[in-house]
Chain A
């Protein structure tokens, strides 16, 4: 099953990249606010059910993909 994991800095953590992009967008005349930059990770897992795939992805997040001190993740089962 295909999984997408979106990792972002927690809301309380300053995201300087997001801030720089926000300023860039604003300098182009866009009214963009609260820009946050994250990372998208796609992978295939072997699982019989979407729940099992999600549980496996959760384990991967805890083991490596997410640093809970500064990041949070959203897991989506794509197919």
Chain B
């Protein structure tokens, strides 16, 4: 497995992603600077990490979406390559048009940093292939703008094409109007593009991969990719 972790000015979870990819998963991993125009050859997975790319100027992710490396990411995604956008990375993928919708300021205005529970909605995409539908994953969120929104037609389309992969749930597993701490539409925490090779999510799986850090459920996503890469290709 070969992984590229994008680095923008203001990325601050790039080293977490590099650490998990290299040390925890044992994958060949390369940081890729935003001014580069190509990805390392044979990249399987591009991680767009969290942070505050370009200081969140204009809108979260808006400037990063135009960075030179993003053309290569578009090509990679179009060819079926995997892209994982975490937090600010999710915002960047939305601004770049690789995923539908947008992330608004949290409903309660405040920056939220807390543990959340995600309910797995779909397991026939590479990112969740080793998980079970309805399974709960515990991992942290840390964002000011994670309140997912889109227009009604887009929401219908997301549901029709089963693009919602993770929903915010109560610890009991129940998903309802109060289970998304940031106010996300339809409790959406993460979604894929129609072909299922681009995932964006606001919670941080890369911060939940080692018992010493208190949470390990994020591993499920990386292990799903490993499993899929090894056995499905």
A interface with B by C-beta (< 8 Å): 9, 13-14, 16-17, 19-20, 64-65, 67, 69-70
Contacts and interface: CB of A to CB of B under 8 A. Distances in A.
Nearest to A14: B107
Contacts of A14: 104, 107, 183
The 4 closest A-B pairs by CB, nearest first: A16-B109, A69-B102, A16-B105, A70-B102
Contact of B62 (A16, A17, A20, A67): A67
Contacts of A65: 58
A16 B107 contact: yes
Interface of B: 58-59, 62, 66, 95, 101-102, 104-109, 149-151, 183
Contacts of B95: 67
Instruction: Give chain B's interface secondary structure class.
Output: loop
10 contacts: A16-B106, A16-B107, A16-B108, A19-B109, A64-B62, A64-B66, A67-B95, A69-B102, A69-B151, A70-B102
Nearest to B154: A69
B58 A70 contact: no
B59 A17 contact: no
Nearest to B65: A64
Contacts of B101: 69
A17 B105 CA distance: 9
B193 to A, nearest CB: 16
A16 B147 CA distance: 11
A21 B109 CA distance: 11
Contacts of B102: 67, 69-70
B104 A13 contact: yes
Contacts of B59: 67
Nearest to A20: B109
